[in-house]
């Protein structure tokens, strides 16, 4: 009959005889820098895969209006505000308020700081609109058809 203690002891001895030299070679390679490039490549690859999975998860769990629709609304309302000079004052104010609301929505979606929520009017509000349009363009939202450097 075989003693279970001797079986366990022989399994441990074989594991030590196999694992210790392999561990020594791995430690030597790590200290000598033999795996530095490979580990960095693997770390980058796994990081990109993790980021891709996170982005896919965020796209699948997206709630609310897509940013493309908000950008289309901004372009449409910007054209309406630019051409409503012949309308009544109430109509012009309504168009500007609608444009401001969509502008605020886009800023909140892209985490852009804005001051349109506070009470302001006139030139100060126009300057804030212009600044936010520039910030949103910088963030990648196409609001105007003209690009930097193109003629007006």
- The pLDDT tens digits for 82-101 are 888 889 999 998 999 999 99
How far is the C-alpha of 52 from the C-alpha of 57, rounded, in Å?
9
- The most distant pair of C-alpha atoms in the chain lies apart, rounded to whole Å, by 106
Q: Shortest CA distance to 95 belongs to which of 114, 124, 110, 73?
A: 73
**pLDDT by residue (tens digit) across 112-149?**
888 887 777 788 888 998 999 999 999 888 888 765 55
pLDDT at 149: 55
- The mean pLDDT value for 56-70 works out to 82
**Domain boundary assignment for the chain:** 4-60, 67-139
The CB density around residue 92, as the number of other CB atoms within 10 Å, is 15
Residue 151 has pLDDT above 60, yes or no: no
Buried b / exposed e along 51-64 (16+ C-beta atoms within 10 A): eeeeeeeeeeeeee
pLDDT at 77: 93
Confidence grade of residue 150 (pLDDT, cut at 50, 70, 90): low
pLDDT at 48: 92
pLDDT at 61: 77
Tell me the average pLDDT of the chain: 85
Q: Shortest CA distance to 99 belongs to which of 66, 75, 68?
A: 75
Buried b / exposed e along 22-42 (16+ C-beta atoms within 10 A): eeeeeeeeeeeeeeeeeeeee
Q: How many CA atoms lie within 13 A of 17 on its CB side?
A: 6
pLDDT at 152: 45
Please return the burial class of 132, using the count of CB atoms within 10 Å of its CB with bins 0-12, 13-18 and 19+: buried
**pLDDT by residue (tens digit) across 10-34?**
999 998 899 888 998 888 887 777 7
């Amino acid at each position: 009959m075989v003693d279970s203690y001797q079986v366990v002891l022989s399994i441990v001895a074989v594991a030590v005889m196999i694992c210790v030299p392999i561990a020594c070679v791995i430690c030597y390679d790590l200290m000598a820098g033999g795996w530095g490039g490979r580990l960095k490549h693997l770390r980058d690859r796994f990081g990109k895969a993790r980021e891709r999975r996170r982005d896919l998860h965020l796209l699948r769990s997206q709630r609310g209006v897509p940013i493309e629709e908000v950008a289309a609304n901004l372009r449409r309302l910007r054209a309406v505000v630019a051409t409503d000079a012949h309308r009544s004052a109430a109509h012009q104010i309504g168009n500007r308020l609608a444009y401001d609301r969509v502008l605020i929505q886009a800023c909140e979606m892209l985490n852009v700081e804005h001051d349109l929520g506070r009470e302001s009017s006139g030139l100060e509000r126009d300057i804030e609109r212009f600044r936010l349009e520039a910030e949103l363009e910088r963030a990648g939202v196409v609001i105007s058809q003209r690009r930097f450097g193109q003629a007006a």
